[in-house]
Amino acid sequence: MEFLDNLALGFNVALSPTTLLYCMIGVTVGMFIGVLPGIGPIATVGMLLPITFHMRPTEAIIMLAGIYYGAMYGGSITAILLKLPGTAASAVTVVEGYPMAQQGRAGPALVMTTIASFFGACVAIVIVAAFAPPLAQFALRFQSPEYFSLMMVGLIAAAVLAHGSLLKGLAMAVLGLVIGCIGQDRNTGLPRFTFDIGELYEGVQFVVVVVAMFGLAEIIHNLALGGKHEILARRVPLRDLIPSREDLRISFWPMVRGSALGAVIGILPGAGPAISSFASYALEKQLARDPSRFGKGAMEGLVAPEAANNADSQAAFIPTLTLGVPGDATTAIILAAMLIHGITPGPKITTDAPQLFWGLIASFWIGNLVLLVLNLPFIGLWVRMLSIPYRILFPCVLLFSCIGVLSLNNDAFDVYLAAAFGVAGYVFLKLGCEATPLLLGLILGPMVEENFRRSLQLSRGDPTIFLTRPISLAFILVGVFLIVLVVAPGLRRRKQAQSST
């Protein structure tokens, strides 16, 4: 039983005291920032990455991954109690969770989302463990053209899923690729767009961009809005937490469906947890006998997306680990973290670094268990944390961001660069351009160029190589399909508008 041996190895790694400690730190921090409004998991992982440089790679990655899925749990708490989604994926949780809280059922809503999250994660972990190795086996056949086309799909998917227009998303992805060109060319060593600034020869560190565009720009935006939020329940007594047997009964199949859907969508590169939760919500509404209950606190509409986004955030590690193409901005950062720690994710990861791979998967399960244990008894505590005012919170975030950036190279230049990118990030935010595709472009940039160059070498300069190789063609078609999927409804609407006038 190779599968069981692998899992045994994984648990052996994940249960060693130091790894366990880092896993717990990771999920607790993730939970914490998921609850605190105004700081996302992306900015946090970026901020804390420099601190992990002196840790062992496996421990560092396990901790950073813990922040990622921990934030998924925390995000739903604020969604239910504050009508304030802590993460993009918990935006759907608001729709059913907040009405439940208004009806005085905040307790069961919180507990059921926790159970659904745990359920979804467990399903996805099994899927990751079962499907990642065969997928890696398959990916061994990939050469440069396949990788190039796959990365294109990832970038297109990120652009498609970004808020606002597709064109803006694509432009941001290309802009990310351009920023990725800054620094010495990998092939010839020629410095590009460095303006004779020595610090830029190594390229723009993505941590700087992450902290700036997801941290600083967000802070500026929040302060400009200056909004206040009303907390529905400051205290949730323990006895109100217990869900009824009816709650559990109606939740079971939605959780199963949500988990399956989330796991499948999570495997697609570029599709983040937000799309899973929206898709799963739509599915439950379709299946419901009485769809009119939705939007007024329907339990199915709460648990299914919650299971889906947690399943997705685990399954997203399949493409990240085995193909080296991340599922969304946060897994992109974890990918970059692995590169910094000298691990190249790719088809060979299960054989080259089995300890990391299986240790990470086992840590997912342990981390989720820790979250379940942390979450249920301490819900009251998490709720009380919501009352930390933003005017105290944001200077702390700002300081930790600056220290994180500074500790990258011990160079104040990176701090100035972060300030500049913060301004740029705010301008783009104001113009309705989301930063996620840019970040993905920046991280994938050097790899995209390298695979593009090698593909053309392989084909002796014939650009149709991307269309003549079957796997590469399949990826290109997926990309085209994604674009059509977004553009088509708009065209139809326009046609209808024209015919009606």
Partner 1 sequence: MRLRARIHDPKDVIAGLLFVAIGLATIVGASDYPLGAIRNIGPGYFPILLGVCLALLGAAVAYQGIGRDEAAAAGAVHESDEGLGLRPLIMITLAVVAFGFLVRPLGLAAATVALVVISSLAGRDFSAVRVAVLSVALVTLSWLIFIKLLGLSMTLWPR
Interatomic CA distance for residues 393 and 297, integer angstroms? 31
User: Exposure string (b/e) for 487-497, b if CB count within 10 Å is 16 or more?
Assistant: eeeeeeeeeee
CA gap 311, 276 in Å, rounded: 9
Least separation in angstroms between residue 485's CB and partner 1 is 18
CB nearer to partner 1: pick between 223 and 242? 223
CB neighbour class for 320 (10 Å; exposed up to 12, middle 13-18, buried from 19):
buried
In whole angstroms, the minimum distance from the beta carbon of 26 to partner 1 comes to 16
DSSP string, 426-493: HHHHHTT--SHHHHHHHHHHHHHHHHHHHHHHHTTT-TTHHHHSHHHHHHHHHHHHHHHHHHHHHHHH
Cα 407–chain centre separation: 24
Query: Shortest Cβ distance from residue 188 to partner 1 (Å)?
Result: 5
Which residues contribute to the site for partner 1 (CB under 8 A)?
51, 54, 165, 167-168, 170-171, 174-175, 177-178, 181, 185, 187-188, 190, 192-193, 216, 219-221, 223-226, 391-392, 394-396, 398-403, 406-407, 410, 412-413, 415-416, 418-419, 422-423, 426-428, 430-433, 449, 452-453, 456-457, 460-461, 463, 493-494, 497-498, 501
User: CA-to-CA distance for 451 and 85, rounded, in angstroms?
Assistant: 38
> Distance (Å, rounded) from C-alpha 78 to C-alpha 31?
11
CB of 153 to partner 1, least distance (A): 16
- Which CB, 142 or 400, lies closer to partner 1? 400
Burial of 130 (0-12, 13-18, 19+ CB in 10 A): exposed
* Nearest CB to partner 1, comparing residues 291 and 432: 432
Smallest distance, partner 1 to C-beta of residue 467, A: 16
When the beta carbons of 244 and 457 are compared against partner 1, the nearer one is 457
Q: Which is nearer to partner 1, 4 or 225 (CB)?
A: 225
DSSP 243: P
Shortest reach from residue 497's CB to partner 1, in Å: 4
Query: What is the closest distance, in whole angstroms, from the C-beta atom of residue 403 to partner 1 in the complex?
Result: 6
Pair 314, 260: CB distance under 8 Å: no
